Structure 1
């Protein structure tokens, strides 16, 4: 059995269409949308609307964790526009391209920048969307937990710790634990380029310690200090920033 795993696609629909080549299934751990590319400020919904100069400024403020100033700039730029309608139109365009690129079968969960309410409108037969649920792929049970935890970034799909923990608990014992965010291990959560800790999940960490799945797979941290580590018998792996690498992580058994 061969499964390809991707995360943090961020608009790379052409590469996504090739990600399942040679695999029995594709697993996607979310963040399909590209709102603002921190590596190339000319890419994404934000610069398309407001230009590269404003994108440069927004990245500078967020990277410096000057979130109040970033929100003030955001409010200034959106003044006079129907924010909800404009963003939804751009999101729908990206989702149309991205879901059309998924091979069959694909098993997918949400990232923190995704909009779950729209997924059911774009997921075609052959794409299974899971969040707090399991799927049998080959002879292994895969558990999926989507979204992220609350942060000052206020991305679209962030939930309270209790809600996230409930989704983790609903899985029970699995062979492969799949999530968008990592377990709360500092080395797995630190982004060496952004120079900050992303939020990891204590509930995921506890589930790994107690149930010891063979693998815990995740993304979210684009340039992690440590891309993989072992917790007991569990191999914890950041499957990579697909938008940059264009290469899926391969799981074979």
Structure 2
């Protein structure tokens, strides 16, 4: 059995269409939407609406962790538009989702990232795509558990939930062979981004579940340039499957 795993697709539909080649199934760990590419500020919903210069400004503020100033800039830019903020974002996200979901091979098992909008997924997920969040599924005789979204941060991305709600989703999985999530367990080496030079939020509930239930693998994304891409926690191999938008390469799991 061979399963390909991707995360942080961020608009790379061309590579996504090939991600299942040679595999029995594809697993996607979220962040389909590209709102703003921190490596190329000309790409994404934000520069399409406000231009590259403003994208440069807001990335600089966020990188410096000046989040209030970044929010003030964002509010002023939206105020100058002739269209409602939510309407503009939903229109742009729908356009991306139409292209990205069409690129999924069958079968695909997917969960949400923190920048995704779960309420729109049922409209685009075809019969070959199974969406799971706080749920489990058997693939090739192994039990995969899925936990979508992220925890609350100053970035205020679309699908962030409380620590309690997130922990409840992890608890609902029980014992699994492969624990799949968008964000990593709360381990410094796995949550630190070496380019952004900051710790992203990891989950203590995921870490506790790994120590308690000892899955064979814990797979995740979210941190684009992690200090450590993989490490063992007891019996569990923890793997950041990579920033698919940049690499275009899935991570392969075989048994």
Alignment of 1:60-79 (within 5 A): 60-79=60-79
Q: Aligned partners of 1:13 and 1:58: how far apart in 2?
A: 25
Shift of 1:12: 0.2
Alignment of 1:201-216 (within 5 A): 201-216=203-218
1:55 is matched with which residue? 55
Q: Note the alpha carbon deviations across 1:148-185, whole angstroms, 9 max, x for none.
A: 00000000000000000000000000000000000000
User: Which portions of structure 1, spanning 4 or more consecutive aligned residues, are displaced by more than 2 angstroms?
Assistant: none
Q: Aligned partners of 2:233 and 2:189: how far apart in 1?
A: 13
2:102 is matched with which residue? 100
Q: Aligned partners of 2:22 and 2:229: how far apart in 1?
A: 24
1:172 is matched with which residue? 174
Q: Aligned partners of 1:43 and 1:242: how far apart in 2?
A: 15
1:148 is matched with which residue? 150
Alignment of 1:154-165 (within 5 A): 154-165=156-167
Q: Aligned partners of 1:126 and 1:91: how far apart in 2?
A: 21
Q: Mark the runs of 5 or more structure 1 residues left unpaired by the alignment.
A: none
1:90 is matched with which residue? 92
TM-score, length-scaled by structure 2: 0.99
1:223 is matched with which residue? 225
Q: Aligned partners of 2:88 and 2:246: how far apart in 1?
A: 27
TM-score, length-scaled by structure 1: 1.00
Q: Aligned partners of 2:157 and 2:87: how far apart in 1?
A: 17
Q: Aligned partners of 1:42 and 1:100: how far apart in 2?
A: 24
- Count of matched residue pairs: 253
Shift of 1:69: 0.4
After superposition, the CA RMSD in angstroms is 0.4
Shift of 1:107: 0.1
Shift of 1:84: 0.8
Q: Aligned partners of 2:54 and 2:66: how far apart in 1?
A: 15
Shift of 1:123: 0.2
Task: Please state whether the residue corresponding to 1:117 is helix, strand or coil.
Answer: helix
1:133 is matched with which residue? 135
Q: Mark the runs of 5 or more structure 2 residues left unpaired by the alignment.
A: none
2:89 matched to 1:116? no
Task: Please state whether the residue corresponding to 2:17 is helix, strand or coil.
Answer: helix
2:29 is matched with which residue? 29
Task: Please state whether the residue corresponding to 2:207 is helix, strand or coil.
Answer: helix
Q: Which stretch shows the higher mean deviation, 92-101 or 74-83? A: 74-83
Q: Note the alpha carbon deviations across 1:191-215, whole angstroms, 9 max, x for none.
A: 0000000000000000000000000
Q: Aligned partners of 1:235 and 1:33: how far apart in 2?
A: 28
Q: Aligned partners of 1:171 and 1:87: how far apart in 2?
A: 32
1:14 is matched with which residue? 14
